[in-house]
Structure 1
Amino acid sequence: MSTFSIPGPARTPSAARTPAPHPWNRFVALGDSFTEGYGDPEPRSPGGVRGWADRVAEELSLGHRDFAYANLAVRGLLLQQIVDDQVGPALELKPDLVTLSAGGNDLVFRGSDPDKLAEKLDPVIGLLSATGATVVLFTGPDWGNTPVFNRIRGRVAIFNENLRTIAARHDGVVADLWSLRQLTGQQMWDPDRLHFSPLGHHTIAAMVLETLNVPHTLQPLQPKVLPTGSWRQARSSDLVWARDYLFPWVLRRVRQRPTGPGLKAKRPEPGPVFGPGMPHGPLPAGPDR
């Protein structure tokens, strides 16, 4: 079990405030396209995408010159693939903060049993937690009455309850996408309706930091200028969306195409985060990790 003490309650974000100290020095993110940052394009970031994990790392790096971050997530992976391909390398990096989001592709594209998915995940979280690292798990979002995905809402809810049980058993932390009601807005989603937009990733990053009780400088609704629109207006183009996005995605999943040779983890080694307030230089020498 983790023995750290999370700092006191998070305060209102302020760009002018220097974030308070936190106990983490090495952050490793595991998962699929959600953690890779798909939907949040940024040519200057490794892999051409940014995402909530990068945004969290940028904030955690403020005032921590020895902070390092690795992101092993690869889009399209199922839960077992994430376990097989990423958990071992993550353990070798000796993180003290780990985030893991897995099972979404299983639920959406395989119709997998949420109880069986939880059975696979439970020992993995136990293994990660036994290292002393803080382990953060993500519940699935509530798609509500959105087209197509409302059919899997019950399975997602069951999986979420299983995740809460796993987190409680292994002293994990739950980042609760299901209860993050801001995500019901159309502007939070990529046009494919499968991934989050830059604003969605930004909003999730703020939630993760607040879940960890880390003060941060993220301001609500400020990643970029947002287009106008609503879910009702978006539904008028459901057939176009299904043709352009949903059907090709499902077809790729059904055919079980292996991950292409060009799809690799965007940050396979922990390194400094060159975000706001970070020095553009190598990490200072520190204890052997």
Structure 2
Amino acid sequence: MSVDGINPLEIPEQSVSHLVNRHPWSRYVALGDSFTEGIGDPEPLNPGGYRGWADRVAEELGRGHEDFAYANLAIRGRLLQQIVDEQVGPCLDLQPDLVSISAGGNDLIRPSGDPDALAEKLDAAVAELGSRGATVVLFNGPDTASSVLNRIRGKVAIYNENLRTVAARHDAIVADMWSLRQLADPQMWDVDRLHFSPLGHHTIAMMVLDALNVQHTLEPLLPKDLPPRTWREARSSDLVWAREYFVPWVIRRLRHRSSGDGITPKRPTPGPAVGPNGTLLPHE
């Protein structure tokens, strides 16, 4: 397969890495909630202590592009309207040519979450984000049949169909989480069963790069099957999960508090995601 009329087999090996990362973008800004912040993918060397799919995508986009810059404005716990109010304006001020926005998941978990009303809010945000020529990437929701979020599966499916309409209207790219069947594997999820594990974030990053039609160096990982558990072990695990994760989540909802209270964006200004030699860079 040739790239811009060049056959990779006919050029020196050291030049292939440049072709792998060829793309038109120089400034990427990620918007959203805990999913885009990277919760579930801890990395002490990263800003905020998390990595996540967006950092992984930016690392790949930045390889071979000295002028590539990346900002991440996502904050855990944010509802769609909060993301629109708090992040869209600052994003536009950064003048990105690539934007990703994942929003609505925290709304749909709530009994009052209306997938049709959410789509209308998202439509206006996408129109604004794309008004200056930036490529916009939207995320639909994953198929939650295999997770604790199964009870909202119907609402997620409706929201996803609305989101495709929004994407088509504004010529946005859909990062198709619903069709990513690998996410059915329990090892793709964090211990809290609400966020993705490092393996899940890695898998999602590959999907996003593929959606952008960008060749990359990420390789699919084949997780080992979990050993079978007895009924008693499974029940014990469910009780521990409920005590440590579900009950605190319910208490926050009752107190009208968010896990993102007091949290600031981990990468508020654009900066390089990787150094000249491909190493991870801290963000100042």
CA distance in 2: counterparts of 1:280 and 1:193, whole angstroms: 28
Which whole-Å deviations, capped at 9, do the CAs of 1:108-142 have from their partners, x for residues lacking one? 13440100111111111011111100000001011
| Residues 275 and 174 (structure 1), Cα distance of their counterparts in 2 relative to 1, 3 Å cut | farther
Which whole-Å deviations, capped at 9, do the CAs of 1:139-170 have from their partners, x for residues lacking one? 101111434x2211000000000110000000
Identity of aligned residues (%): 64
Q: Which has the larger radius of gyration?
A: 2
Deviation at 1:20, TM superposition (A): 3.9
CA distance in 2: counterparts of 1:280 and 1:210, whole angstroms: 22
For the 8 Å contact 1:56–1:208, the answer to whether it is kept is yes
- Letter aligned with residue 214 of structure 1: V
For the 8 Å contact 1:186–1:231, the answer to whether it is kept is no
User: The residue matched to 2:206 in structure 1 has which SS?
Assistant: helix
For the 8 Å contact 2:21–2:60, the answer to whether it is kept is no
Structure 2 spans left out of the alignment, 5+ residues: 9-13
- Letter aligned with residue 169 of structure 2: R
CA distance in 2: counterparts of 1:179 and 1:133, whole angstroms: 25
| Residues 20 and 69 (structure 1), Cα distance of their counterparts in 2 relative to 1, 3 Å cut | closer
Name the residue aligned to 1:285. none
CA distance in 2: counterparts of 1:201 and 1:93, whole angstroms: 25
For the 8 Å contact 1:100–1:138, the answer to whether it is kept is yes
User: The residue matched to 1:144 in structure 2 has which SS?
Assistant: helix
- Letter aligned with residue 99 of structure 2: V
| Residues 232 and 69 (structure 1), Cα distance of their counterparts in 2 relative to 1, 3 Å cut | farther
| Residues 48 and 230 (structure 1), Cα distance of their counterparts in 2 relative to 1, 3 Å cut | farther
Structure 1 residue 116 and structure 2 residue 114: aligned?
Answer: no
Higher RCO, Cα 8 Å, sep 6+: 1
Query: Counterparts of 1:13-52 in structure 2 under 5 Å?
Result: 17-18=16-17, 19-52=20-53
Name the residue aligned to 1:73. 74
For the 8 Å contact 1:103–1:117, the answer to whether it is kept is yes
For the 8 Å contact 1:185–1:231, the answer to whether it is kept is no
Which whole-Å deviations, capped at 9, do the CAs of 1:221-254 have from their partners, x for residues lacking one? 17xx868346987843222212211121122133
User: The residue matched to 1:256 in structure 2 has which SS?
Assistant: coil
| Residues 235 and 71 (structure 1), Cα distance of their counterparts in 2 relative to 1, 3 Å cut | same
Name the residue aligned to 1:228. 226
Q: TM-score, normalised by structure 2?
A: 0.87
Query: Counterparts of 1:257-272 in structure 2 under 5 Å?
Result: 257=257, 259-261=260-262, 263-272=263-272
| Residues 160 and 75 (structure 1), Cα distance of their counterparts in 2 relative to 1, 3 Å cut | same
Which whole-Å deviations, capped at 9, do the CAs of 1:42-94 have from their partners, x for residues lacking one? 00000000000000000000110000000000001100111100000000000
RMSD (Å) for aligned C-alpha atoms: 2.6
CA distance in 2: counterparts of 1:231 and 1:58, whole angstroms: 37
CA distance in 1: counterparts of 2:184 and 2:229, whole angstroms: 9
Query: Counterparts of 1:150-189 in structure 2 under 5 Å?
Result: 150-189=150-189
Which whole-Å deviations, capped at 9, do the CAs of 1:208-231 have from their partners, x for residues lacking one? 000110000001117xx8683469
Structure 1 spans left out of the alignment, 5+ residues: 1-6, 282-289
- Letter aligned with residue 71 of structure 1: N
CA distance in 2: counterparts of 1:275 and 1:207, whole angstroms: 24
- Letter aligned with residue 221 of structure 1: L
Name the residue aligned to 1:284. none
User: The residue matched to 2:100 in structure 1 has which SS?
Assistant: strand
- Letter aligned with residue 217 of structure 1: T
| Residues 276 and 163 (structure 1), Cα distance of their counterparts in 2 relative to 1, 3 Å cut | farther
CA distance in 1: counterparts of 2:119 and 2:71, whole angstroms: 25
For the 8 Å contact 2:21–2:61, the answer to whether it is kept is no
For the 8 Å contact 2:69–2:272, the answer to whether it is kept is yes
CA distance in 2: counterparts of 1:195 and 1:210, whole angstroms: 22
User: The residue matched to 2:145 in structure 1 has which SS?
Assistant: coil
- Letter aligned with residue 160 of structure 2: N
User: The residue matched to 1:99 in structure 2 has which SS?
Assistant: strand
Query: Counterparts of 1:137-216 in structure 2 under 5 Å?
Result: 137-147=138-148, 149-216=149-216
Name the residue aligned to 2:107. 106
CA distance in 2: counterparts of 1:173 and 1:267, whole angstroms: 23
- Letter aligned with residue 181 of structure 1: R
